């Protein structure tokens, strides 16, 4: 069964990326929900290793792109190249035609390059000149941001952030996990780390996506999902403080993302129904990058996480 293969893949990822179980779960959720993820965390926390390990465990090819200020859109999409021997132009595909893409430090690239990536994410196609090229059916972008050094960066506008299914924040591991990382590094250096790599086919993934959409979602829980998102647009109906904190709420993309992520989480946990716990667990990752805080909120030190906690406390659970 596909769920057994996903469980094996999760176990494999957790042996390769230590101390980041939340990240590995969210990667699988994004794979099942057919969305893209933005990962924010300090350097050296195995973000590249995580997406590479995921590509090793599934039938997919992987490409890493280091975003820099001098990158051009054609460096992502590809370009037409003139062949003198045939006197014709031939399209040379760029990195975006792979299944799994790591967009490393996406905020280092200028707006044109970011737009080229985000258009591919949203439309699943690339247009070069007058020709449109379809991207693979299995297409997942994991973009990263470094929260420490912001000099010379181009922050993603809110409308472009909305294209990401989830925004995941990761932090340093604890001391016990650090010891495990040292041991794993030694084993790999000595070539002693013999781990069986599961193989998940693209057909398995498509079947699992269909199974997620067929999970039972109670009408009352669907209403709960909608009300959580609507509350970000009309916070004055719930609490005056919340209304002062929020400048703009989340779009319908957030509603779709929350439902798809809750379904994927329930599937990974082996259930045939979606529970309120699934919705509440996924809400921070779905809303974190979609809430635009007011000047008053920022001046008071209010964070999106605090707003999300307030929403969970105010919106009644079915």
- DSSP one-letter string for the chain: -HHHHHHHHHHHHHHHSTT-HHHHHHHHHHHHHT--EEEE--TTSSHHHHHHHHHHHBT--EEEEE--TT--THHHHEEEEEETTTTEEEEEE-GGGSSEEEEETGGGS-HHHHHHHHHHHHHSEEEETTEEEEPPSS-EEEEEE-SS--TT--PPPHHHHTT-SEEEE-----HHHHHHHHHHHHHHHTT----PPP-B-HHHHHHHHHHHHTSB--HHHHHHHHHHHHHHH-GGGT-HHHHHHEEE---HHHHHHHHHHHHHHHHHTT-SB--HHHHHHHHHHHHTTT-EE-HHHHHTT--HHHHHHHHHHHSPP-
pLDDT of residue 194: 73
pLDDT of residue 193: 66
The CATH number of 2-189 is 3.40.50.300
pLDDT of residue 150: 63
pLDDT of residue 64: 92
pLDDT of residue 148: 72
Q: What class, spelled out in words, does domain 215-314 have in CATH?
A: mainly alpha
pLDDT of residue 2: 67
pLDDT of residue 290: 92
pLDDT of residue 316: 92
pLDDT of residue 152: 61
List the pLDDT tens digit at each of the 318 positions of the chain.
567 889 999 999 999 999 999 999 999 999 999 999 999 988 888 888 999 999 999 988 999 999 888 888 889 988 888 888 888 888 888 899 999 999 998 888 888 888 888 888 888 888 877 788 899 999 999 999 877 766 667 788 787 888 999 999 999 999 999 999 999 989 888 887 677 788 889 999 999 999 999 999 999 999 999 999 999 999 999 888 888 999 888 999 999 999 999 999 999 999 999 999 999 999 999 999 999 998 988 898 999 999 999 999 999 998
Residue extents of the structural domains in the chain: 2-189, 215-314
pTM for the whole thing? 0.91
């Amino acid at each position: 069964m596909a769920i057994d293969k996903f469980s094996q893949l999760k176990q494999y990822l957790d042996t390769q990326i230590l101390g980041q179980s939340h990240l590995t779960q969210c990667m699988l959720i994004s794979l099942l929900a057919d969305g893209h993820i933005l990962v924010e965390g300090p350097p050296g926390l195995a973000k590249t290793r995580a997406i590479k390990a995921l590509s090793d465990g599934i039938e997919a090819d992987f490409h890493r792109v280091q975003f820099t200020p001098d990158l051009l859109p054609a460096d992502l999409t590809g370009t037409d190249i003139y062949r003198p021997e045939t006197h014709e132009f031939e399209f040379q595909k760029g990195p975006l035609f792979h299944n799994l893409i790591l967009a490393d430090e996406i905020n280092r690239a200028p707006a044109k390059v970011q737009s080229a990536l985000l258009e591919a994410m949203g439309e699943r196609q690339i247009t070069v000149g007058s020709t449109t090229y379809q991207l693979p059916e299995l297409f997942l972008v994991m973009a990263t941001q470094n929260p420490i050094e912001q000099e010379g960066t181009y922050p993603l506008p809110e409308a472009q952030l909305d294209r990401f299914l989830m925004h995941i924040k990761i932090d340093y591991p604890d001391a016990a996990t650090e010891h495990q990382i040292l041991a794993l590094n030694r084993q790999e250096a000595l070539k002693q780390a013999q781990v069986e790599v599961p193989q998940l086919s693209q057909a398995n993934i498509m079947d699992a996506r269909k199974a997620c959409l067929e999970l039972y979602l109670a009408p009352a829980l669907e209403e709960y999902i909608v009300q959580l998102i609507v509350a970000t647009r009309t916070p004055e109906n719930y609490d005056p403080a919340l209304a002062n904190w929020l400048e703009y709420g989340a779009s319908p993309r957030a509603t779709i993302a929350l439902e798809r992520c809750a379904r994927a989480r329930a599937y990974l946990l082996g259930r045939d129904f979606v529970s309120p716990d699934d919705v509440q667990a996924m809400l921070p990752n779905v809303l974190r990058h979609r809430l635009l805080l007011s000047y008053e909120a920022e001046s008071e030190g209010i964070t999106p996480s605090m707003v999300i906690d307030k929403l969970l406390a105010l919106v009644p659970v079915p």
